[in-house]
C-alpha cells in the first residue's frame, strides 16, 4: 500500500485533476466520472421520487383531487423512466466506474474518453425525455413499456421520447462495453477471473446483458417511430401487423433489463455482508454460477409479463415452467448470504443494516415473483397493485437499499471522511419501516382487485391507499437525510481520521481497502502483486 | 379538517397494523364464484403457504444468527466458506417444491384454456373508454359506460363516499345466465384493453385487430364487479365492468326485454327546451365528456374544445353531418338515435357550463342523414 503512494509521488507524468469546473466536463478519470454518475443518479432519484409523491398524493383518498388523469398517467410513465434509466442504472454504472478499476488493480477504465461520452449522452437523454413534460399534449402517458397502439396517441412528445431512448441506449451500451473491456483486459496479473470480487463478476455479466438487450429496445422503439411517421404497420393489425409483437420484443429487452438493475445489487451485497460478518463469503463459485444462470434464464422467460395477452396454451406452460426455474439460483444466493452470516462475528453499521434488509425484503419480492410465475394465478395478479408491490420490493428495498449501503460503505474511502453513523442509522430505520408501510399494503390492494395505473379508485380501496401514501411521504422525506449525509461527509463528516481499511479487516476482502483514504486521483499505475482473496 | 382527521386515522391504522376493522378490508384474494376461480384461489393459497414456510425457515435462521453470532456478544467468527453437500441439498429441495407446484398449476391452466362446448358466446369489444357487448346470434348488442353518478362525481369533485359503488357501476351491466358455459371473445377498437372480473378468476386482454377467447360458468346468482386492467389512456380508471348472473328464466326475460327496447324506434315528437337540455346533458355525459370534458374545454393537444368552437356554434346541418360521419380522430355518432342526437346538439350549443349560447333548439325531426365530407 505504501508502495502505491510512493509510486504515485514519484511519477513525473502523473497529474492531478483539471482546475475549475471544466474538470467535470472533460474528465476521463474513472473516479471523477463515477462521482458524476452517482451524483446525477442521486439527483434523478429525487426527481423521480417527486413524481412518486405526486402519484401518492393523488391516491391518498378516492376522488380526483390534484391532477388531471392524463397527467397522472404521464407521472407513472415518467416516474418509471426516470427511476430506471436516470437513477438506478446510472447509479450502478457510477459504482462500477469508481470501484471496478480499484477492485481489479487497474489504473483506470479501458476506454476513458468513451466513458466521458457515455455519461454526457446519459445527461442529454434524460434532459430530452424530461423536456417532453413541457410539450403540447404532455409527456408520454402510455406507461414506461410504451405499448402501441396507446403510445402512438402521444402528442408532440413521441419522437423526442424515442430519440431520448436511443441516446440512453447508446450511453448504456458504451458504458457496458467499457466495463466488459476493463474487466477482461485490465486486471492485475494475479487477479484471475475466479478471484474477482463478486461485484466485478455481477457487472461483467450485467455488461453482456446490456450489450445484448439495448439494441433490441432501440429496434422496438424505432418501429414505433416508423409506424407513427412513415406509414409502416409493424404493430397495426389494419396493415398486417400485430400490437402484441411489440410486447414480445419489448419484454425480450425488458426482462433482462430488470436483472440489469438487480445483478449488481447481488454483487454489492456479496461484498458488504462478509466484511461485517467477519467471515469469507459462503459459496463464492456457486454465487458466480447462480448469477450466470439467472442472466441466461432472463432471456427465455419474457412472456411471463404477457400471460393474459392471449398466448397459446403451450406458450403459457413453457413460460410458466421457465420462470419458476429462476427461483432456484435466486434461492441459492439467499441461502449463501444467510450461511455467510451464520457463525460470523457480526456488527451492524449502516451498510450492513441496509444489506441485511435488502436480503430480507428482496426475498419477499422474490416470493411474490414466484407466486406470479404460476400462470393461472397470474390471471388474477396481472396488472394489479400486487405486481406494483412485487417490483417495488425488488427495486426499492432491494436495488435502492443496496445503493444506499454501497454509499455508506465506500463513502469514507472516496472522501476520506467518516459519515455520521447516528444519522445513518436513523436514515436506515426510517427508510426500512416506511418502505414497508408504503409497499406492503399494496399486496392487499392488488389481491382485493385494484388495477395498477389508475388515478382514482373505488371506496373499498381507500384505507390501504391512505396507509400506503403515508408510508410514501415518510419514505420520501427520509431520503433527505441521505442527501444531508452525502453533503456532510463530503464537507468533512465527523472529522474523525479514517484509516485506509476503514472497516475492521476490510483489506482481507478487497484491493480498494489497501489504498489510502481518500483515494489518490490515480491508483494502481503499477498493478498490485498481492491479491486479497479469502474465498479459497 | 376532514383531511387532518383522515390523516390521523391513517396514521393510527398504520401503527395498529392489520387487526383493525378487518371486516372493512379485503386482505386476500377473493375466492370467486366459478370452479376455476376456486381452483385459482387454492393454488394461490398453496404457493402463499409454501412461501410463508420458506420465509420463516430462512428469516428465522438469519435472525437467530444475527442475535447469537454478533461481535458484541463476543462471538468468534468461524472460517468456513463452502460445503458442497449443503449446497446440493438447497438446490434440490426447491426444485422438488417447484415441480410439486407445477403439476396442479398445469391442470388449472389447461382447464382455463378450454373454451370448447360452450352454451353461448358474447363478444366483448374494448373502446376508449367503455365496453361494448354483443350477444352473438341473439341480436342483443349494447354499450356499457361508467354510471352517471360516478362520472359526475369524479369530474366535479363531489364526495365519492356518497356515490354507491363509486367507479364500479355501469349504466348497462352484462347479464349472464347461471350454470351455463359462456364463451367470451375479446377484441378492441382502438388500443389494448383488458377485461377483468376478479370473481370470475381471470382477466383477458382485448387486442385491436385480434380475437382472444376465454370462458366462465357462474354458479351463483349475483352482481360481480371489475375494471379494465390494461392502461388504455386518459380514462383507463373509469371503464368498469359489471356482470349480473341470473337464473335462466330471469335471464331470458331480460334478453327479450333488452331486445325489444333496442328495436324500439326513436320517439320523434318535439320536446321542450328543458327536455332537450336534460336529455342532451345525459347523452353528453355518456358519450362526449371523456374527451371534451365537463366544461367543454377539451384537452389541449389531444382533444379540441367545444367551448366557443366555430363548428359547434356554426351551421346546424354541417354539425349534424360531422357527428354522424366522425373523423379519423373522432368516432361516428350515427349510433345515437335521432332524439338523442337532437338533444345533445341542442345541449352543446346552449349549455352555460360549456360556455356556448347559440339560443336555438334542434328537434328530433330535424335530424336527417346528411353527410359532410369534412
CATH code of the domain covering residue B48: 1.10.287.90
Task: For residue A310, report the phi and psi dihedrals to the nearest 5 degrees.
Answer: 105, 45
Domain assignment present for residue B6? The answer is no
Domain identity same for B63 and B95:
yes
Domain identity same for B277 and B253:
no
- Picking from A244, A364, A371, the nearest residue to B47 by CB comes out as A371
Contact at CB, A383 and B58, closer than 8 angstroms? no
- Chain B CB contacts of A315 under 8 Å are none
Hey, which residues 295-314 in chain B have their CB within 8 Å of chain A?
A: 299-302
Domain assignment present for residue B223? The answer is yes
Round to whole Å and give the CA distance between B48 and B50: 5
Decide: B210 and B243 in contact? Cβ < 8 Å: no
Give residue for cell 440489469: A260
The CATH number of whichever domain residue B162 belongs to comes to 2.60.40.420
Q: Tell me how far CA of residue A29 lies from CA of A16, A97, A111, A415, in angstroms.
A: 10, 9, 10, 16
pTM of the model: 0.92
Round to whole Å and give the CA distance between A199 and A95: 10
Domain limits for position B158:
120-263
pLDDT at B11: 52
DSSP assignment of B299-353 equals BTTTB---TT-HHHHS-HHHHHHHHHH--SSS---TTS-HHHHHHHHHHHHH-GG
Domain identity same for B131 and B237:
yes
Number of domains, chain A? 1
Band (A520; pLDDT cuts 50, 70, 90) = very high
Residue A244 pLDDT exceeds 80: yes
- Picking from A344, A346, A367, the nearest residue to B51 by CB comes out as A367
Domain identity same for B106 and B219:
no
Is A421 annotated as catalytic? no
Condensed to tens digits (0 to 9), the pLDDT of residues A62-79 reads 999 999 999 999 999 999
Band (A287; pLDDT cuts 50, 70, 90) = very high
Domain identity same for B139 and B223:
yes
In chain B, whose CA is at the least distance from the CA of A460? B25
Average pLDDT for B158-164: 91
Domain identity same for B259 and B289:
no
Domain assignment present for residue A75? The answer is yes
Domain identity same for B254 and B124:
yes
Task: For residue B133, report the phi and psi dihedrals to the nearest 5 degrees.
Answer: -110, 135
Band (B19; pLDDT cuts 50, 70, 90) = very low
Contact at CB, A360 and B62, closer than 8 angstroms? yes
Contact at CB, B202 and A380, closer than 8 angstroms? yes
| DSSP class of A397 | I
Domain assignment present for residue B7? The answer is no
Residue A10 pLDDT exceeds 70: no
B170 — contact with chain A (CB < 8 Å)? no
Domain assignment present for residue B3? The answer is no
Domain assignment present for residue B1? The answer is no
Domain limits for position A102:
2-186+193-514
pLDDT at B12: 52
- Chain A CB contacts of B226 under 8 Å are 449
Is A505 annotated as catalytic? no
Average pLDDT for B322-333: 87
Residue A394 pLDDT exceeds 60: yes
Domain assignment present for residue A524? The answer is no
Partners of B123 in beta bridges? B134, B185
Domain assignment present for residue B15? The answer is no
Domain identity same for B311 and B347:
yes
Domain identity same for B248 and B124:
yes
Decide: A408 and A354 in contact? Cβ < 8 Å: yes
Partners of B223 in beta bridges? B244
Domain assignment present for residue A523? The answer is no
Query: What percent of chain B shows pLDDT beyond 90?
Result: 64
Number of domains, chain B? 3
Interface test with B, best of A288, A355, A451, A460 (most B CBs within 10 A): A451
A370 — contact with chain B (CB < 8 Å)? yes
Domain assignment present for residue B185? The answer is yes
Domain identity same for B147 and B172:
yes
Average pLDDT for B162-168: 93
Is A333 annotated as catalytic? yes
pLDDT at B7: 56
B43 — contact with chain A (CB < 8 Å)? yes
CA distance, residue A293 to nearest chain B CA (Å): 13
In chain B, whose CA is at the least distance from the CA of A238? B209
Neighbouring C-beta atoms of residue A517, cutoff 10 Å: 19
B212 — contact with chain A (CB < 8 Å)? yes
Condensed to tens digits (0 to 9), the pLDDT of residues B350-365 reads 999 899 988 888 898 8
Residue A6 pLDDT exceeds 70: no
Domain assignment present for residue B10? The answer is no
| DSSP class of B18 | T
In chain A, whose CA is at the least distance from the CA of B43? A377
Is A13 annotated as catalytic? no
In chain B, whose CA is at the least distance from the CA of A338? B62
B127 — contact with chain A (CB < 8 Å)? no
Set A32, A58, A108, A378: catalytic member: A108
Q: What is the mean pLDDT of chain B?
A: 89
Set A259, A381, A457, A464: catalytic member: A259
B115 — contact with chain A (CB < 8 Å)? no
Tally the residues of chain B.
374
- Chain B CB contacts of A451 under 8 Å are 196, 227-229, 237
Partners of B174 in beta bridges? B243
Contact at CB, A64 and B79, closer than 8 angstroms? no
The CATH number of whichever domain residue B305 belongs to comes to 1.10.760.10
Domain assignment present for residue A131? The answer is yes
Residue B21 pLDDT exceeds 90: no
- Picking from B6, B70, B299, the nearest residue to A347 by CB comes out as B70
Condensed to tens digits (0 to 9), the pLDDT of residues A184-218 reads 999 999 899 999 999 999 999 999 999 999 999 99
Condensed to tens digits (0 to 9), the pLDDT of residues A31-43 reads 999 999 999 999 9
Give residue for cell 380514462: B235
Round to whole Å and give the CA distance between B16 and A486: 34
Domain identity same for B68 and B201:
no
- Buried/exposed A463-487: b ≥16 CB within 10 Å, e otherwise: bbbbbbbbbbbbbbebbebbeebbe
The CATH number of whichever domain residue A441 belongs to comes to 1.20.210.10
Amino acid at each position: 500500500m505504501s508502495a502505491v503512494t510512493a509510486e504515485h509521488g514519484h511519477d513525473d507524468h502523473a497529474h492531478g485533476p483539471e482546475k475549475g469546473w471544466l474538470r467535470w466536463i472533460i474528465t476521463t478519470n474513472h473516479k471523477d466520472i463515477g462521482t458524476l454518475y452517482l451524483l446525477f443518479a442521486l439527483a434523478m432519484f429525487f426527481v423521480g421520487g417527486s413524481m412518486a409523491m405526486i402519484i401518492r398524493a393523488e391516491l391518498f383518498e378516492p376522488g380526483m383531487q390534484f391532477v388531471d388523469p392524463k397527467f397522472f398517467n404521464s407521472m407513472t410513465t415518467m416516474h418509471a423512466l426516470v427511476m430506471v434509466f436516470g437513477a438506478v442504472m446510472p447509479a450502478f454504472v457510477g459504482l462500477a466506474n469508481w470501484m471496478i478499476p480499484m477492485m481489479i488493480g487497474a489504473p483506470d477504465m479501458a476506454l476513458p474518453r468513451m466513458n466521458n461520452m457515455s455519461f454526457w449522452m446519459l445527461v442529454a437523454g434524460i434532459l430530452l425525455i424530461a423536456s417532453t413534460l413541457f410539450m403540447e399534449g404532455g409527456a408520454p402517458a402510455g406507461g414506461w413499456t410504451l405499448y402501441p397502439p396507446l403510445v402512438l396517441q402521444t402528442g408532440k412528445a413521441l419522437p423526442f421520447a424515442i430519440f431520448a431512448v436511443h441516446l440512453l441506449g447508446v450511453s448504456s451500451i458504451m458504458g457496458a462495453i467499457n466495463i466488459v473491456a476493463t474487466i477482461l483486459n485490465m486486471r492485475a496479473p494475479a487477479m484471475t477471473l475466479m478471484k474477482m470480487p463478486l461485484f466485478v463478476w455481477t457487472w461483467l455479466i450485467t455488461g453482456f446483458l446490456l450489450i445484448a438487450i439495448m439494441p433490441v429496445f432501440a429496434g422496438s422503439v424505432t418501429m414505433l417511430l416508423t409506424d407513427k411517421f412513415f406509414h409502416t404497420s409493424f404493430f397495426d393489425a389494419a396493415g398486417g401487423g400485430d400490437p402484441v409483437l411489440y410486447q414480445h420484443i419489448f419484454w425480450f429487452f425488458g426482462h433482462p433489463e430488470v436483472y440489469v438493475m438487480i445483478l449488481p445489487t447481488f454483487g454489492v451485497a456479496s461484498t458488504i455482508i462478509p466484511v461485517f460478518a467477519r467471515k469469507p463469503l459462503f459459496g463464492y463459485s456457486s454465487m458466480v454460477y447462480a448469477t450466470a444462470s439467472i442472466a441466461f434464464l432472463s432471456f427465455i422467460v419474457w412472456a411471463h409479463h404477457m400471460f393474459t395477452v392471449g398466448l397459446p396454451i403451450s406458450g403459457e406452460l413453457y413460460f410458466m415452467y421457465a420462470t419458476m426455474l429462476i427461483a432456484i439460483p435466486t434461492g441459492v444466493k439467499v441461502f449463501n448470504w444467510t450461511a455467510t452470516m451464520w457463525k460470523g462475528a457480526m456488527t451492524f453499521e449502516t451498510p450492513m443494516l441496509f444489506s441485511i434488509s435488502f436480503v430480507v425484503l428482496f426475498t419477499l419480492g422474490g416470493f411474490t415473483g414466484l407466486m406470479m410465475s404460476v400462470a393461472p394465478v397470474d390471471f388474477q395478479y396481472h396488472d394489479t397493485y400486487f405486481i406494483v408491490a412485487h417490483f417495488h420490493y425488488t427495486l426499492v428495498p432491494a436495488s435502492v437499499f443496496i445503493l444506499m449501503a454501497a454509499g455508506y460503505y465506500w463513502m469514507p474511502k472516496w472522501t476520506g471522511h467518516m459519515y455520521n453513523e447516528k444519522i445513518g442509522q436513523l436514515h436506515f430505520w426510517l427508510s426500512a419501516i416506511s418502505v414497508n408501510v408504503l409497499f406492503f399494503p399494496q399486496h392487499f390492494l392488488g389481491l382485493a382487485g385494484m388495477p395498477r395505473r389508475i388515478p382514482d379508485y373505488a371506496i373499498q380501496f381507500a384505507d390501504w391507499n391512505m396507509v400506503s401514501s403515508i408510508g410514501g411521504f415518510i419514505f420520501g422525506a427520509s431520503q433527505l437525510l441521505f442527501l444531508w449525509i452525502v453533503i456532510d461527509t463530503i464537507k468533512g463528516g465527523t472529522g474523525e481520521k479514517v484509516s485506509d481499511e476503514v472497516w475492521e479487516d476490510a483489506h482481507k476482502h478487497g484491493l480498494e481497502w489497501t489504498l489510502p483514504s481518500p483515494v489518490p486521483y490515480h491508483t494502481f499505475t503499477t498493478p498490485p502483486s498481492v491479491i486479497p482473496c479469502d474465498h479459497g | 379538517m376532514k383531511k387532518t382527521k383522515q390523516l390521523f386515522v391513517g396514521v393510527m391504522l398504520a401503527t395498529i397494523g392489520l387487526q383493525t376493522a378487518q371486516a372493512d378490508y379485503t386482505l386476500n384474494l377473493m375466492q370467486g364464484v366459478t370452479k376455476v376461480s376456486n381452483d385459482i384461489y387454492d393454488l394461490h393459497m398453496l404457493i402463499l403457504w409454501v412461501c410463508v414456510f420458506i420465509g420463516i425457515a430462512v428469516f428465522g435462521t438469519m435472525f437467530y444468527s444475527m442475535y447469537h453470532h454478533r461481535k458484541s456478544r463476543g462471538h468468534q467468527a468461524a472460517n468456513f466458506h463452502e460445503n458442497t453437500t449443503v449446497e446440493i441439498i438447497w438446490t434440490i429441495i426447491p426444485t422438488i417444491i417447484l415441480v410439486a407446484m407445477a403439476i396442479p398449476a398445469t391442470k388449472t391452466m389447461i382447464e382455463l384454456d378450454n373454451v370448447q362446448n360452450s352454451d353461448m358466446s358474447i363478444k366483448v369489444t374494448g373502446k376508449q373508454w367503455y365496453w361494448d357487448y354483443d350477444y352473438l346470434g341473439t341480436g342483443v348488442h349494447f354499450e356499457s359506460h361508467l354510471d352517471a353518478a360516478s362520472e359526475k362525481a369524479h369530474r366535479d369533485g363531489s364526495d365519492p363516499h356518497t356515490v354507491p359503488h363509486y367507479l364500479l357501476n355501469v349504466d348497462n351491466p352484462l347479464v349472464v345466465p347461471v350454470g351455463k358455459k359462456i364463451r367470451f371473445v375479446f377484441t378492441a377498437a382502438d388500443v389494448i384493453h383488458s377485461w377483468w372480473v376478479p370473481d370470475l378468476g381471470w382477466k383477458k386482454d382485448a387486442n385491436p385487430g385480434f380475437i382472444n377467447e376465454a370462458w366462465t360458468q357462474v354458479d351463483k346468482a349475483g352482481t360481480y364487479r371489475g375494471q379494465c386492467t390494461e392502461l388504455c389512456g386518459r380514462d383507463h380508471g373509469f371503464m368498469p365492468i359489471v356482470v349480473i348472473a341470473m337464473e335462466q328464466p330471469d335471464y331470458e326475460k331480460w334478453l327479450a326485454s333488452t331486445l325489444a327496447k333496442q328495436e324500439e324506434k326513436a320517439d320523434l315528437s318535439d320536446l321542450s327546451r328543458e327536455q332537450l337540455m336534460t336529455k342532451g346533458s345525459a347523452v353528453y355525459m355518456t358519450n362526449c365528456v371523456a374527451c371534451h370534458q365537463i366544461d367543454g374545454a377539451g384537452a389541449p393537444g389531444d382533444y379540441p374544445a367545444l367551448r366557443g368552437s366555430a363548428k359547434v356554434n356554426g351551421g346546424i346541418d354541417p354539425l349534424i353531418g360531422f357527428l354522424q360521419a366522425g373523423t379519423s380522430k373522432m368516432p361516428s355518432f350515427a349510433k345515437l338515435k335521432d332524439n338523442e342526437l337532437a338533444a345533445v346538439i341542442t345541449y352543446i350549443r346552449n349549455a352555460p357550463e360549456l360556455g356556448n349560447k347559440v339560443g336555438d333548439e334542434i328537434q328530433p325531426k330535424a335530424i336527417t342523414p346528411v353527410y359532410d365530407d369534412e
